[in-house]
Amino acid sequence: MNILDKIVLRKKEEVALAKQHVSVKQLEAAQHFNRSPYSFKEFLLADDRTGIIAEFKRQSPSKGVINDKVTVADVTTAYASARASALSVLTDTDFFGGHQRDLLEARAANKVPILRKDFMIDEYQILEAKAWGADIILLIAAILTPQEIATLAGTAKGLGLNVLLEVHNQEELERSICTDLDAIGVNNRNLADFTVNIQTSFDLADQIPADFMKISESAISETSTIKLLKQAGFNGFLIGENFMKTEDPGLAIREFVSELISV
Ligand SMILES: O=C(O)c1ccccc1NCC(=O)[C@H](O)[C@H](O)COP(=O)(O)O
């Protein structure tokens, strides 16, 4: 069993448990449920933003603890001030050390789109994402059937949420595309064995239909890579570890962005 299988197995238990504790009615009555989500596309394309989707990532299965000394509010507000186009907040606890309250804290502190970064397998989690103040949800092709992707994407769009589909190869891309997607992300990390290769994004760039925003995800640590990805047609760049591994992720993104815009 690989790590994705383990995560999905645990996620099924978590969702079943969550449904016993919080009803759909309660989620629908939550403070954020009726707010209108920000447009992911607008923030990705805005002249005064960078395309960076900056991730709050305490730990990961591949790296263990990355940073457990910083707070969500400090880091995410620094990311947004440094002109990140969006924030990514992990809400998976067992494998990434994230939590629902991380998303709620990021929402309270920021006026930019926020991705609920989790392993979505059930419509209930989409309602949670809306209730907790997310603007974007992630659907990972490697763990969902085409029918599940279409259904979950349809539910999310019905709630006004933005949908990011994540793929790792052409086969996943071809079988997963549906109308209710806003963006397609190419993950440079193989989630089964943790190997990373930026070339994955370049290989798939031209295969992504022009109607979708193109995002490159994982293992980005150089501004020169972003420039090449932009030339290949990418609009967004999901970066976690490169900022989070430093003592001051806010300073790290500021320095990164000043280098990015200096040429
Ligand atoms: O990061 C991991 O180890 C990982 C393992 C298993 C499933 C997902 C995993 N990461 C999720 C991500 O996609 C990344 O957090 C995100 O793209 C940022 O990547 P990075 O900039 O390399 O931290």
In this structure, the number of other CB atoms found within 10 A of the CB of residue 103 comes to: 29
Report pTM.
0.97
Q: CA–CA separation, 54 vs 30, rounded Å? A: 26
Quick check: 250 and 74 in contact, CB under 8 A? yes
In this predicted complex, what is the ipTM?
0.98
pLDDT at residue 263, rounded to an integer: 64
| Ligand 1 midpoint to CA 168 (Å) | 12
Quick check: 125 and 157 in contact, CB under 8 A? no
Helix (H) or strand (E) holding 163: strand 162-167
Backbone angles phi and psi of 56, in degrees to 5: -90, 110
- Hey, whose CA ends up nearest to atom 15 of ligand 1? 240
- Hey, whose CA ends up nearest to atom 6 of ligand 1? 191
pLDDT at residue 1, rounded to an integer: 85
DSSP 143: G
Extract the tokens encoding 15: 């969702």
Instruction: Name all domains of the chain by residue range, CATH numbers in brackets.
Output: 3-260 (3.20.20.70)
pLDDT at residue 191, rounded to an integer: 82
Q: CA–CA separation, 184 vs 175, rounded Å? A: 13
Q: How far is CA 185 from CA 41, 161, 242, in A?
A: 13, 16, 18
Residue among 18, 161, 1, 2 at smallest CA distance from 92: 18
Q: Which residues are catalytic?
A: 55, 57, 117, 166, 187, 217-218
Helix (H) or strand (E) holding 167: strand 162-167
Quick check: 203 and 229 in contact, CB under 8 A? no
Segments in the chain forming alpha helices (H): 3-21, 24-28, 40-45, 72-81, 100-109, 123-131, 146-158, 170-176, 199-204, 223-231, 241-244, 249-260
Ligand 1 site-directed mutation target among 5, 119, 139, 218, most atoms within 8 Å of CB: 218
67 CB-near residues (< 8 Å, 6+ apart) = 57, 58, 244, 245, 246, 249
Backbone angles phi and psi of 13, in degrees to 5: -65, -45
Q: CA–CA separation, 218 vs 196, rounded Å? A: 8
- Hey, whose CA ends up nearest to atom 3 of ligand 1? 62
Ligand 1 site-directed mutation target among 189, 197, 217, 241, most atoms within 8 Å of CB: 189
pLDDT in tens, the chain (263 residues): 889 999 999 999 999 999 999 999 999 999 999 999 999 999 999 999 999 999 999 999 999 999 999 999 999 999 999 999 999 999 999 999 999 999 999 999 999 999 999 999 999 999 999 999 999 999 999 999 999 999 999 999 999 999 999 999 999 999 999 999 999 999 999 987 889 999 999 999 999 999 999 999 999 999 999 999 999 999 999 999 999 999 999 999 999 999 999 96
Buried b (16+ CB within 10 A) or exposed e, 161-197: bbbbbbbbbeebbeebbbebbbbbbbbbbbbeeeeee
